[in-house]
Amino acid sequence: MGTFKAIYIICLRELRKFFRDRLHLAGTLFRPILWLMVLGWGFGRIVATGGGISYKEYIFPGITGMTVLYASIFSSMSIIWDKEFGPLKEILVAPVSRSAIVFGKAASGTAVATLQAAIIALFVPILGIHITPGQFVAFLLTSALVSFTISSLGILITSHLKSLDSFNVVMNFLVMPMFFLSGAIYPIKVLPEWLKMVAMVNPLTYGVDALKNIMLTGDPSSPFSPDFPLWVDISVMVVIAASMTGLAAYSFRQKE
């Protein structure tokens, strides 16, 4: 019970910090809606998808993946802040497992990112994209798994960083390539072979593809259709999430 209580307290603390910053809250909630409108109505007029899939439908899973990526990665920034100003030291001397710390941090990032994904899904009828109740539930569950996977990766990285400056440099170098090489705004199938290999080791690739499997109902032979079966996407993300969580917990134990 102590482990679950520690996870709950750490998660609750991060969520309170997020909801208290009203300006940041508004920006993170409405930014993806703006991206959907700009890309959907802009590129949608010049990009021919085919196979019964409109460009707005195609980029919806990708913009959701972008939202989850930013929310999950930058939620781990609190670890750097806690290192600099002391709260992390208090947590580390508490009689709780290091896995509980990682799970608590990852759970808070997952909750914030999934909330943003849910808001995006509620607004998409404006763009002419229709979601059934079953798709909505599967969409949220998959978004939560994608978020937990990316959050655990972010926590592993930030556990080795010492300042906010180094965090910004590393994340700016990492986030944009992860987004553009995930199949979010164009199919991986059109990339050169060497870039396809890079995309295959990108965790977000499987998250975006899983969301495509849920949301896209057009011709499976279309180049804009999902690249992998849903079970492959889910399996890869579960393995990555478990690996990153274990490595992050080990990193925290090493820093004691």
| Domains of the chain by residue range | 2-254
Q: What is the mean pLDDT of residues 46-72?
A: 77
CA dihedral 53, 55, 59, 60 (to 10 degrees): -70
Q: What is the mean pLDDT of residues 146-172?
A: 82
Phi, psi at residue 118, to the nearest 5°? -65, -40
pLDDT of 52 above 70: no
Nearest to 200 by CA among 232, 170, 172, 223: 232
> Under a CB-based contact definition with an 8 Å cutoff, are residues 102 and 152 in contact?
yes
> Under a CB-based contact definition with an 8 Å cutoff, are residues 144 and 237 in contact?
no
In the block, residue with structure tokens 């608590």: 104
Dump pLDDT digits (tens) for 121-142. Answer: 877 777 677 788 888 899 999 9
- For 32, left (φ over 0), alpha (ψ -120 to 50), or beta? alpha
The rounded distance, in Å, linking the Cα atoms of 134 and 115 is 17
- Mean pLDDT score across all residues of the chain: 79
Dump pLDDT digits (tens) for 226-242. Answer: 888 999 999 999 999 99
Q: What is the mean pLDDT of residues 70-96?
A: 69
Residue 151, helix vs strand vs coil: helix
* Full-model pTM: 0.85
Buried/exposed code over 99-127 (b: 16+ C-beta within 10 A; e: otherwise): bbbbbbbbbbbbbbbbbbbeebbeebeeb
Residue 218, helix vs strand vs coil: coil
43 against 167, higher pLDDT: 167
State how far the alpha carbon of 102 is from the alpha carbons of 15, 128, 171, 175, 177, in Å.
15, 39, 19, 21, 25
The rounded distance, in Å, linking the Cα atoms of 183 and 233 is 13
pLDDT score of 54: 74
pLDDT score of 1: 46
Residue 219, helix vs strand vs coil: coil
pLDDT band at residue 118 under the 50/70/90 scheme: confident
State how far the alpha carbon of 167 is from the alpha carbons of 22, 52, 150, in Å.
23, 42, 15
What is the percentage of the chain residues whose pLDDT exceeds 70?
75
The residues, any chain, with a CB within 8 Å of residue 92's CB and separated by 6 or more, are 98, 101, 252, 255, 256
pLDDT score of 224: 77
The rounded distance, in Å, linking the Cα atoms of 244 and 127 is 36
